[in-house]
Amino acid sequence: MLPFLPSGFPGRVARATVSLVAGLTLSLQTLALQPTPALAHVPDYPVPAGHFFTQARGLSGDSVTGYAISDADGVPFWSEYKRLGGIRLLGYPASRRFIWNNWAAQVVQKGVLVWHPERTRVELALVLDDLSSAGYDGWLRESKGIPAPFDQNEERDLTYDQVRERRLKFLDGNAQVKQRFLAERNWLDLYGLPVSFDETDQAWVLRTQRAVFQYWKMDVPWARKGTVTIAHGGDIAKEAGLLPAGVLEPEVPTVFRVENPEKPTRMVIPKLRVDAPIATFGLDQLEKDGSLPAPKRAEDVAWYDYSGRAGEANNAVFAGHVDWQGRSAVFSRIKELVDGDHVVLVGDNGTKFTYEVLGCSDVECHLPMSSRPDVDEFIGFSAFSHLTMISCEGEWDVIKKDYSHRRIVRARLVSVSTAKDEPVRLIAEQLPYDHWIFTADAADLPRDADGNPRR
């Protein structure tokens, strides 16, 4: 098994020969760009004006298909998704875009996002109300134990405030459900108003406009006695078959790149106030043992020209020192980078390539030397426009003259502009099937009559 990054890379001592991957003889199979994408352990990642999620597919971590949520076409689903609470409150995106009651819409696990241009905002659809209008109340009761709405004629002469007050009194029927419902500060946006309630031998059930609360009076396979579970509108709408055909079909990832990639000459990291020159290293500068050389100055960032160029659909690999002769070096604050931060590469024609940091919430970026994971995951070829930054971290070993850990930060291309800040068009291409034929999504590949994947 190939050992991982680096004995001796960038260390405390100022040795020009300190190597990035001492002991790792990098065959050209690793750097010569075999189709083994550097996707490992990144279930979601930024895309231009949005984000791509694989989690709602319900497959293993090897899945690469999923759903993009973006601000494309003037419909700001991605921005509004974040405003409304993102993953914590809405769950993961679970469909493509589609039309719902004449509005642009997209399913998330906890509801259906609907764009209202007249209000310039996204709201969660009143899914349970829509199911009633579509005649699903009988199905909801028989298959889910969800009560039908109460007769709304009783509220015909009431104001909205009076209706709201009346409906909230439904919560008095169960203290645990009431506490769970009101614990969410934005309960009206997330759940809507209560609609009805019912009680059976198993549970006390509250139906709202967007979700269903169930207080369990006995143990059931999916919940313990005394607990409250919530069935959300997005999942109910999917199970009911209320959605248009095809919207739940997962999307193959899109690869974004530029037509003319450039050699990177500077790296700018606004959050860290880094604006550093990039030193290029070629194959003829590999160490004698085949390991990657380290930058020779504290302020330089090393780029290995046998990895990707700026804007290319590949993995551009960079390295920098964390300290140098007792003072801070270019990557001294790299551990402060988190998902969403930007890294800008300036090309040799002045073009600015903006990458967004990803994976720091989902992958252990602080890697002990002893773990020795597969190096291809970090410095190998990527099917996406991707960059990887490497530096030292952890405890200094005075005997080995090396740090105990490595910091790995990865980022994905999200936008490109000229030296005059004019936007550059990105080429968008579907990820070739060669790069996901052995993943958990292989069963979904389009196939010919003989069962072979079609290109």
Q: What is the tens place of the pLDDT at every residue in 156-199?
A: 899 999 999 999 999 999 999 999 999 999 999 999 999 999 99
The DSSP annotation for 7-52 comes to BTSS-SS--TT-BSSBT----HHHHTT-S--S-TT-SEEEETTEEE
Band (371; pLDDT cuts 50, 70, 90):
very low
pLDDT at 56: 84
| Phi, psi dihedral angles at 19 (to 5 degrees) | -105, 155
Do 296 and 364 reside in the same domain of the chain? yes
Average pLDDT value over all residues in the chain: 83
H or E element in which residue 128 lies: helix 127-133
Is 60 exceeded by the pLDDT of residue 22? no
Band (252; pLDDT cuts 50, 70, 90):
confident
Q: Name residues whose C-beta falls within 8 Å of residue 93's C-beta, 6 or more positions apart in sequence.
A: 53, 56, 66, 67, 68, 69, 81, 106, 107, 108
- The rounded distance, in Å, linking the Cα atoms of 316 and 258 is 14
What CA–CA distances, in Å, run from 393 to 12, 41, 58, 366?
A: 10, 21, 35, 8
Band (123; pLDDT cuts 50, 70, 90):
very high
Is 50 exceeded by the pLDDT of residue 2? no
pLDDT at 392: 84
- The rounded distance, in Å, linking the Cα atoms of 94 and 77 is 13
Do 319 and 210 reside in the same domain of the chain? no
Do 150 and 271 reside in the same domain of the chain? no
For the stretch 306-340, pLDDT in tens is 899 999 999 999 999 998 888 899 999 998 998 89
* Of 79-88, 213-222, 394-403, 433-442, the least confident: 433-442
- The rounded distance, in Å, linking the Cα atoms of 223 and 231 is 12
Q: Could you tell me which of 36, 35, 26, 38 has the C-alpha nearest to residue 283?
A: 26
Do 300 and 421 reside in the same domain of the chain? yes
What CA–CA distances, in Å, run from 235 to 92, 108, 285, 327?
A: 11, 8, 55, 54
The encoded tokens of residue 246 equal 């095809």
- Per the document, the length of the chain is 455
Last residue of a domain, one of 201, 233, 265: 233
Is 80 exceeded by the pLDDT of residue 233? yes
pLDDT at 277: 97
Decide if 448 is inside a domain: no
Is 70 exceeded by the pLDDT of residue 438? no
Decide if 212 is inside a domain: yes
- The rounded distance, in Å, linking the Cα atoms of 360 and 436 is 23
pLDDT at 36: 45
What CA–CA distances, in Å, run from 17 to 6, 292, 295, 296, 301?
A: 13, 10, 9, 8, 15
Decide if 424 is inside a domain: yes
Do 320 and 193 reside in the same domain of the chain? no
Do 281 and 426 reside in the same domain of the chain? yes
- The rounded distance, in Å, linking the Cα atoms of 76 and 159 is 33
What CA–CA distances, in Å, run from 143 to 65, 138, 239, 354, 373?
A: 30, 8, 11, 50, 47
- Helix then strand count (H, E) for the chain reads 10, 24
Do 274 and 224 reside in the same domain of the chain? no
- The rounded distance, in Å, linking the Cα atoms of 411 and 267 is 13
Last residue of a domain, one of 200, 233, 266: 233
For 259-317, what is the HEC assignment?
CCCECEEEEEEHHHCEEEEEEEECHHHCCCCCCCECCCCCCCEEEECCCCCECCCCEEE
Decide if 173 is inside a domain: yes
Angle between helices 233-240 and 137-144 (to 10 degrees): 100
pLDDT at 348: 95
* Of 1-5, 206-210, 403-407, the least confident: 1-5
* Mean pLDDT on 46-69: 83
Query: CA angle 262-267-268, nearest 5°?
Result: 125
| Model pTM above 0.85 | no
Decide: 148 and 212 in contact? Cβ < 8 Å. Answer: no
Q: Where are the beta strands (DSSP E) in 48-152?
A: 50-53, 67-70, 93-100, 103-108, 111-116, 121-124
**Tokens 């352990």 -> residue:** 41
Q: How far is CA 211 from the centre of its chain?
A: 25
pLDDT at 43: 79
19 vs 394: which has the higher pLDDT: 394
Amino acid sitting at position 57: R
What CA–CA distances, in Å, run from 278 to 83, 112, 233, 263?
A: 37, 46, 50, 10
* Mean pLDDT on 428-453: 68
Is 90 exceeded by the pLDDT of residue 289? no
3-state SS, residue 210: coil
Is 50 exceeded by the pLDDT of residue 21? no
* Mean pLDDT on 31-42: 46
Beta bridge partners of 344: 268, 354
Do 416 and 342 reside in the same domain of the chain? yes
Do 285 and 383 reside in the same domain of the chain? yes
Q: Could you tell me which of 72, 93, 73 has the C-alpha nearest to residue 82?
A: 93
Band (90; pLDDT cuts 50, 70, 90):
very high
Q: Could you tell me which of 167, 173, 169 has the C-alpha nearest to residue 149?
A: 167
Total structural domains within the chain: 2
pLDDT at 350: 96
Is 70 exceeded by the pLDDT of residue 364? no
The encoded tokens of residue 284 equal 């003829």
Do 344 and 383 reside in the same domain of the chain? yes
10 vs 279: which has the higher pLDDT: 279
pLDDT at 103: 94
The encoded tokens of residue 424 equal 């550059």
pLDDT at 293: 81
Decide if 388 is inside a domain: yes
pLDDT at 79: 96
Is 50 exceeded by the pLDDT of residue 27? no
Band (437; pLDDT cuts 50, 70, 90):
low
Taking only Cα atoms into account, the Rg of the chain, rounded to an integer number of angstroms, comes to 27
Beta bridge partners of 44: 53
pLDDT at 32: 40
pLDDT at 274: 96
Decide if 240 is inside a domain: no
Do 295 and 175 reside in the same domain of the chain? no
Decide if 71 is inside a domain: no
Amino acid sitting at position 68: A
CATH (domain of 288):
2.40.260.10
The encoded tokens of residue 198 equal 């019912």
* Mean pLDDT on 13-23: 35
* Of 243-252, 271-280, 338-347, 446-455, the least confident: 446-455
Decide if 84 is inside a domain: no
Do 229 and 258 reside in the same domain of the chain? no
Give the single-character DSSP code of 28.
H
Is 80 exceeded by the pLDDT of residue 444? no
Structural domain that includes position 201: 141-233
